[in-house]
Amino acid sequence: MNKHEIIELLNNDSKNDWLFNEADKVRHKNVGDEVHLRGLIEFSNICKRQCKYCGLRSGNKNIDRYRILKDEIILYVKKAVDMGYKTIVLQSGEDDYYDADKMTEIISEIKKYDVALTLSIGEKTYDEYKAFKKAGADRYLLRIETTDKKLYKEMHPHASFEDRVNCLYNLKSLGFETGTGCLVGLPNQTIESLANDILFFKELNADMIGIGPFIPHQETPLAKADKGDFWLALKVMAITRLILPDINIPATTAMETLNPNGRIIALQSGANVVMPNVTSTEYRTKYEIYPGKICINENPQQCRGCIEGKIKAIGRTISTEKGFRKFSN
Ligand code: SAM
Ligand code: SF4
Ligand code: FES
């Protein structure tokens, strides 16, 4: 599919059913009917950055900040392993408290359990990424957010688009399964730039792609902006499945926040991964990247039961494997 064809699909809703159906078939053929569950630990909501869309940005003073330290993280890992999770995802704001030494200690400790480990802790130096890899981390998630350089600059004061791209290529070169993705519905984002985002995923040969609709947060400069469109985000996700048939694609939490059946619709339109939260309820309200986040009042057992039920109800199964990229082509 070339850029023109992608733009055509994104602009025209008459082919939506065809697109979602086609993405579902390509998912079935290339990565099968198993859904991989990744246990998500949001271990710090402290962030030094100022991303204009995010409730964790350092400029937000109206938020109760927390850090979960190593021993407590390991407690959640143990519980997640007992519940059957085969991958742990450690996510946080860009919090310098967790320097390379602290992170490698946490990583090595987690890798004593039989799990794959994904990090999502932002932009770090090549040497830091190298240390994380050496300590045993398998995967890294770092969304490009948007490939529109002007919009990137607007959304990320004091940050550089080139640095973000470099981080992604560094992660790839170090052998991480590398995940990226974009926000859909940022103010002034164009359809053409979304097409460019998809082509960027292909050029990077990303192993995982997470697409989320933008949801405005009241304590950010974008408080009054319109929210992203669920169906447009779904279309970006489905086209990504057609272009990168064998990768892992999560049905994202932000999708379910905008549509009560969002994750299941996504699983039937190209997605094959879900990332339930495995941290205790007390931290969930505090990791408010956007308002209305699902699972705020539930505990890890409730989420596991809930998502298993939904997945089985559509005739899919839960994978018992770590779920690395399959490389079918
Ligand atoms: N700090 C790390 C980073 O930025 O890569 C990881 C944590 S960050 C909260 C994870 C993702 O949340 C970001 O990549 C961004 O796409 C998403 N996000 C932040 N604010 C959002 C919003 N208002 N609506 C939807 N997604 C948002
Ligand atoms: Fe920090 Fe990530 Fe939020 Fe940006 S998106 S403010 S880096 S937590
Ligand atoms: Fe958390 Fe459904 S997955 S309540």
pLDDT digits (tens, 9 = 90+) for 27-67: 999 999 999 999 999 999 999 999 999 999 999 999 999 99
At 254 the pLDDT is: 98
Ligand 2 pocket mutation pick from 44, 52, 94 by most atoms within 8 angstroms of CB: 94
Contacts of 205 (CB under 8 A, 6+ apart): 172, 244
Question: Tokens 């109206």, residue?
Answer: 62
pLDDT digits (tens, 9 = 90+) for 315-324: 999 999 999 9
Share of residues in the chain with pLDDT > 90 (%): 99
Contacts of 65 (CB under 8 A, 6+ apart): 45, 46, 286
289 CB within 6 A, ligand 1 = yes
According to the CATH classification, is domain 3-314 in 3.20.20.70? yes
**Phi, psi torsion values for 194, nearest 5 degrees:** -65, -40
Kindly state the average pLDDT of the residues 165-188.
98
pLDDT at 296 over 80: yes
Share of residues in the chain with pLDDT > 70 (%): 99
Average pLDDT, the chain: 97
CA of 299 from ligand 3 middle (Å) equals: 9
Nearest CA to ligand 1 atom 13: 143
Kindly state the average pLDDT of the residues 246-271.
98
Nearest CA to ligand 3 atom 1: 303
**From the CB of residue 16, how many other CB atoms can be counted at a distance below 10 Å?**
15
Ligand 2 pocket mutation pick from 47, 58, 121, 290 by most atoms within 8 angstroms of CB: 47
215, 228 Cβ separation under 8 angstroms: yes
- Sequence ranges of the domains in the chain: 3-314
pLDDT digits (tens, 9 = 90+) for 104-155: 999 999 999 999 999 999 999 999 999 999 999 999 999 999 999 999 999 9
At 329 the pLDDT is: 44
The band of 328, judged by pLDDT with boundaries at 50, 70 and 90, is: low
pTM: 0.98
254 CB within 6 A, ligand 1 = yes
Alpha helices in 39-125 (DSSP H): 70-82, 100-110
- In the structure encoding, which two tokens stand for residue 73, read together? 């993280």
pLDDT digits (tens, 9 = 90+) for 63-105: 999 999 999 999 999 999 999 999 999 999 999 999 999 999 9
Ligand 1 pocket mutation pick from 183, 229, 257 by most atoms within 8 angstroms of CB: 183
At 327 the pLDDT is: 76
Kindly state the average pLDDT of the residues 284-313.
96
The band of 326, judged by pLDDT with boundaries at 50, 70 and 90, is: confident
Rounded distance between C-alpha atoms, residue 271 and residue 252, angstroms: 9
264 CB within 6 A, ligand 3 = no
